[in-house]
Chains A and B, each alone.
Chain A
Amino acid sequence: MLPLATFAQQLILATEETTGGHSGIEPGITSGALVEWAWLIVVVPLVATFLILFFGKKLPMKGWELAVGSIGFVGVYGTILFILNATEGILYEGHLEVAKMGDFIIEWGWMVDGLSIMMYFLVGVVGTLVFVYAKSYMDGDIRFTWFFVSFSLFAGGMLVLVSAPNFLQLIVGWELVGVSSYLLIGHYWEDFENVDAGNKAFMVNKVADAALFIGAIIMAVSVGSFSFNDIIDVVMHGEAGPLSQFGFWAGLAVFIGAMGKSAQFPLHVWLPDAMAGPTPVSALMHAATMVTAGVYLLGRLFPFYLDVGGMFGGDVRNIIIVIGGLTLFLMGLVAIVQDDIKKVLAYSTVSQLGYMVAAMGAGAYTAGLFHLFTHAFFKALLFLGAGSLIHAVHSNDMSDMGGLRKKMPATFWTFILGTLALVAVFPFAGFFSKDEILASIKYAGGSGQDVANSILILGLLGSFITAFYMVRVIALTFFGEYKGAAHPHESPKLMTYPLIVLAFFAVTAGWVNIPGVYTGFTEWVATRVPLVGMGDHHAEGFDWPVVLVSSGLVLVGVVIAWMIYNKDAETNAARDWFRIPVLWPLLENKYFIDDLYMSGVVRPVMGPIASTVLWFDMNVVDGIVNGAGAAGKVLSKGVLVIDDNVVDGVFNASGAVTGASGSVLRRSFTGRVQQYAAFGFVGVIVIVVLFVII
């Protein structure tokens, strides 16, 4: 184990050099059993995965007890770490060397720092609630046990990812998350629609992963190590060298990798389709945790992108903020036209991820992670709420719902709280985190301020859009007349209790970072890399113009959406009016991006391009071979008699002459020896010629 306390101090010193005296938080816990055994957080769910796979079906609750036990363990451990980190500060890094290759050391390890601890807490707590909920939701499913195998694999993969102290382990977790997502999206694989949704998620992520591979390789080779510490060390010291030479390309490639997981425009296309998976999957993987991996990675490499000295990934930030801004705006708009309640939430997730990414692009580490933190709770809540509705009416379509607030009060009230948090109403969670992002973008500073100003406008418009589509959902599902065929009733307690717990967090999670009042969160996530004053613009207090404009737009959005959608019959005119020509079809077709990918890339590659290659192989390349063979056959007729029947001859002979099979082999060998002799003869002649020439 490295003497990490010393290392941390060095790092803090390094920061002081580069930032002019801003020091981080001195961690109180840098050793001890609590952190040294924290690898259990990663290993327990992975072991559980295998146990459920092999023994799950024989257990009384079909493996669920193992799944929930392991994720519950992570939840408890994560909570303990979270509290201790908040009170004392934790900084630790464990290593296990698994191989050496040239000068590179390959190691697995576990990071226990502010950023990782926040993720352990999120994955553990939200995960536990979702697993509890899923017991009831998936009850009677044809592949109940298998579901929890994949789900535990996901939890394990995500924890491998967030505990990673180096790029290799991050990539391992990254793709484990990807593959479990593929399994869960395609959970009902009898239907090709679901399989294709899984394939789409896998492939889009794989494209992004290829970029991530390249970025990781450039960074690792430039620095001579996969370790995030070593990479950040180079950045902190502002060392010119290979990393600064390739800074932009490495940064861009890693960001493209992050775009895949965090579903950023134009690599967002997989996420809405991923709603084919069961709803608990959507809640945990495609809202609260997996899709946050990209934002997490940007946070992990934050000093590289912040790039105080302007030598590394600083230029990439302009791209990041633009991608984030476009994503939050464009995808929010698409959410407005969706009829499937899960699709609304899916596009909403993409849009919110856009906010987080834009924050990272603006250089606001805390703001981006803070929104990641609050969003995990209220988006999980909203998805589980939607799941509760779907469970009750047996349909995803909002036109099969309506008037459900009386029939499903617990779902209704928790959903309202989640909505208030999402649309950023004071004092719910999203209000504080979103406000901080907008304020940060306003003060992004540097050469990117012009860009950031435009993104700020998109961000503010996003407040309106968010309010609009959420109120539309509430109006269509909980108000008006019930339009479905099933007989809905409130979901069982195993489903509503997690909703209530999540609702608690949706209300309170924002209070941990109130500008000018209490900014604990900033310190919690900063123990690893002290960043105070390095681009975060939140500590001084609320930015009142932004708060007021944003809240005003939310209010406008709520009112307009309510006026259009609150009643069924008499407001149809308003709804029709709202179907603006050109824009509406454009949104309904998701800007035709999917079609572009299908007809521009997927179909040509799978179809004509692949067939042409195969045709070329069979006719041209192999044609030459066969031609040579034919020619050789003619030429060599006198020398070598290639008798196809020799094969059958050997076989028949071996069948007939049982006792003396050896002679058969001997005979065939002798035949070959003559051939060898012929070749050898030719060989000697060529050799002689060779030596004469040279």
Chain B
Amino acid sequence: MDWLDNGLALSLVVFLPVVGAGIVLAIPKAQEAAIKWTALIVSLVTLALAVVLAVQFDYSAADTYQFGTAIDTPWIEAINAHFHIGVDGISLPMVVLTTLITMLCIVYSFNHLPEPHNPKLLLAMTLLLGTGMAGTFVALDLVLFFVFFEIVLLPMYFMIGIWGDRGIRYVPIFGWKMEMRLYASLKFFVFTLFGSAFMLLSFLALYFRSGDTLGYNSFSMVELSNIGPAGAFTGTFAFLVFLGLFLGFAVKVPMWPVHTWLPDAHTAAPTIGSVILAAILLKLGTYGFIRIALPILPDEAINWAPFIGVLAVIGIIYGSLACLAQTDMKRLIAYSSVGHMGFVMLGIATLTDIGINAAIIGMVAHGLITGLLFFVVGSMSHRYHTRDMNRLGGAMVSLPRMGLILGFAAMASLGLPSLAGFWGEFMSLMASFDPLEAIGATGLFRGFMVVGAVGTVLTAAYMLYLLRSVIFGEPAEEWVSQEFHDVDTAEWLAWAPLIAGIIAIGIFPKIVFGATNDAVVSLVQKAFGA
């Protein structure tokens, strides 16, 4: 079909949401229903298109870019940047996940609108995020990638800044006292911008240096990953370029110790903001490692692997321990992302097909599971008007269904086998036992495996601690007399697909591996020859 092969369908997946955002903004503010339905229909159509792509995808050629535009589709000719997009087995699951989460957030927003009330702006921002995120996953040109990567920043910045938590955040040492939303949004913005500035530098450096090999300067990720393994980038140059990429992506993941924007941003953001942040935004970083850093600079990746591995396992243990000391349930989930993304990065650091497969399924699973966790925690704190775990308790009495769903999500998050979270965790440990030989640090990585296994125990500990504090026991005095509205229709609609996805991927991981495996094997083959 032409509209699939010439890139039209994929372009629609990327740009429909932003068009939708435009339409939403054009609708008068008073017509809330129209705004909501427009946003929903746009996101549904986008999701449907993504599903069509997933169905039409040629899985026997998962290592090739499909549905894309031609590599030389002109865009900014002055700098030889092209509008080159496409999906392979690695990006396909991420695109589907992005469109799904965007749609679910809009469904959820039907009757969960954060204060100040402005569905129009909120939904427009959500749709804009949809474009930025999907665009990042399909871009095959570094400039295009960068533009989408940065587009995401703005709506999220406003989302946190406008609808964020208005409680006061006290900053120790400096003695600052400012509204949570302002502090968190600024921190999020500046931190990420800091990282991506270095990333941009690396992109530019690659661009200029590529001319030596290609005869012309190129931003094409395809071309760069062809010449990268052939030794186009070496020595200090390669080291610095990797450093720049590392900073850009590591902040986004976030890896320890550049993670501190995350607990604040997640905690301050409105529910759908946290969901999108956790479910998709963090994956932009890990995706960048897999798609850009590893294939273009494989030798540097080998040099950096032990270092990345160390930071990853520190993240696993550190994030989990920080969770155990939390009393704010939303902050607990936020910190849990540091640990979970540690497993993803550990998988990537092994530079093996198993490790990278583990990373991708870990990304998808974390998207579904932590997305669900933030939804439920958001809905709970909306009802209780507090996130303080010392005051909560007995949700199984007050809100039995929601409590059960929280229990389910927590079990999934601690990596219960038969649910989606297991695969990423287990397989990344498995990859650590047998990392790429060229790294020359097999013993060290086996140590990571043991530490990571300890991390699974700590993960279980804080999730059980969360459940004990929030859903078990008798409800405290202040809640006993109150009537709570258990899971409502919008919540069911937004959560059921996540629950189904978590179970389906847990039992039938081929949903993800079926797409990723060949692509990953070929990526590893090309970059590391193993």
Contact = CB atoms under 8 A, between A and B. Distances in A.
B324 A623 contact: no
Contacts of B311: none
A154 to B, nearest CB: 13
Interface residues of B, number: 96
Contacts of B157: 647
B193 A190 contact: no
B449 A214 contact: yes
Interface string B254-269: 0001011100000000
Interface in B472-522: 472-474, 507-510, 512-514, 517, 520-521
B208 A687 contact: yes
Given A190-B474, A651-B118, A651-B162, A102 B354 contact: yes
A676 B146 CA distance: 12
B517 A610 contact: no
B464 A202 contact: yes
A299 to B, nearest CB: 21
A662 interface: yes
A196 to B, nearest CB: 8
B208 A691 contact: yes
Contact of B457 (A195, A206, A629, A694): A206
B429 A687 contact: no
Interface in B231-272: 235-237, 240, 257, 259-261
A682 B197 contact: yes
B417 interface: yes
Interface in B407-459: 411, 416-418, 422, 426-427, 429-430, 433-434, 449-450, 453-454, 456-458
A206 B514 contact: no
B507 A102 contact: no
Given A613-B321, A691-B208, A626 B25 contact: no
A101 B417 contact: no
A196 B464 CA distance: 10
A55 B55 CA distance: 33
Contacts of A195: 468, 472-473
A65 B458 CA distance: 39
Given A217-B433, A655-B118, A662-B25, A207 B321 contact: no
B204 A669 contact: no
Contacts of B464: 199, 202-203
A690 B468 contact: no
Contact of B204 (A196, A202, A618, A683): A683
Interface in A437-495: none
Main secondary structure of the interface of A (DSSP, over half): helix
B28 A659 contact: yes
B162 A650 contact: yes
A221 B453 contact: no
A102 B162 contact: no
B325 interface: yes
Instruction: Name, among A98, A687, A690, the residue most crowded by chain B CB atoms within 10 Å (CB to CB).
Output: A690
Contact of B325 (A104, A614, A647, A668): A614
A651 B417 contact: no
B237 A694 contact: yes
Interface residues of A, number: 84
Interface in B331-372: 352-354, 357-358
A101 B186 CA distance: 41
A88 interface: no
Interface stretch (A173-181, A360-368, A390-398, A409-417): A173-181
Given A172-B417, A626-B173, A662-B25, A203 B460 contact: yes
Contacts of B450: 214
A100 B517 contact: yes
Given A102-B352, A207-B457, A651-B121, A619 B172 contact: yes
Interface in A20-69: none
B460 A202 contact: yes
A101 B353 contact: yes
A381 to B, nearest CB: 32
A613 B513 CA distance: 36
A218 B432 CA distance: 10
B15 interface: no
Interface in A601-660: 605-606, 609-611, 613-614, 617-619, 621-623, 625-627, 629-630, 632, 642, 644, 647-648, 650-651, 654-655, 658-659
Given A98-B509, A102-B357, A202-B464, A221 B322 contact: no
Given A101-B354, A202-B464, A189 B472 contact: yes
A99 interface: yes
A177 to B, nearest CB: 11
Contact of A668 (B116, B154, B354, B427): B154
Contacts of A610: 321-325
Contacts of B318: 613, 617
Contacts of B120: 654, 661
Contacts of A575: none
Contacts of B461: 203, 206, 605-606
B197 A683 contact: yes
A597 interface: no
Contacts of A682: 197
A614 B417 contact: no
B177 interface: no
A80 interface: no
Given A186-B472, A690-B240, A644 B460 contact: no
A683 B200 contact: yes
Interface string A663-694: 00100110010011001101110110011001
B191 A625 contact: yes
Contacts of B178: 644
A73 interface: no
Contacts of B323: 610
Contacts of A291: none
A342 to B, nearest CB: 22
Given A210-B457, A691-B208, A101 B237 contact: no
A86 interface: no
21 contacts: A100-B510, A106-B510, A160-B418, A175-B417, A189-B472, A190-B472, A190-B474, A192-B472, A217-B433, A606-B465, A613-B322, A625-B191, A647-B158, A650-B158, A651-B162, A661-B120, A668-B158, A676-B150, A687-B208, A690-B201, A694-B237
Given A176-B418, A199-B468, A610-B325, 15 more contacts: A99-B517, A101-B354, A102-B521, A175-B418, A195-B468, A207-B457, A213-B453, A217-B433, A610-B322, A647-B157, A651-B158, A661-B120, A679-B193, A683-B197, A694-B236
Interface of A: 98-102, 104, 106, 108, 160, 168, 171-172, 174-176, 179, 186, 189-192, 195-196, 199, 202-203, 206-207, 209-211, 213-214, 217-218, 220-221, 605-606, 609-611, 613-614, 617-619, 621-623, 625-627, 629-630, 632, 642, 644, 647-648, 650-651, 654-655, 658-659, 661-662, 665, 668-669, 672, 675-676, 679-680, 682-684, 686-687, 690-691, 694
**The 4 residue pairs across chains A and B that have the minimum distance between CB atoms:** A647-B161, A610-B324, A610-B325, A102-B353
Interface of B: 22, 25-26, 28-29, 116, 118, 120-121, 124, 150, 154, 157-158, 161-162, 171-174, 176, 178, 181-182, 185-187, 190-191, 193, 197, 200-201, 204-205, 208, 235-237, 240, 257, 259-261, 318, 321-326, 352-354, 357-358, 394, 396-397, 411, 416-418, 422, 426-427, 429-430, 433-434, 449-450, 453-454, 456-458, 460-461, 464-465, 468, 471-474, 507-510, 512-514, 517, 520-521
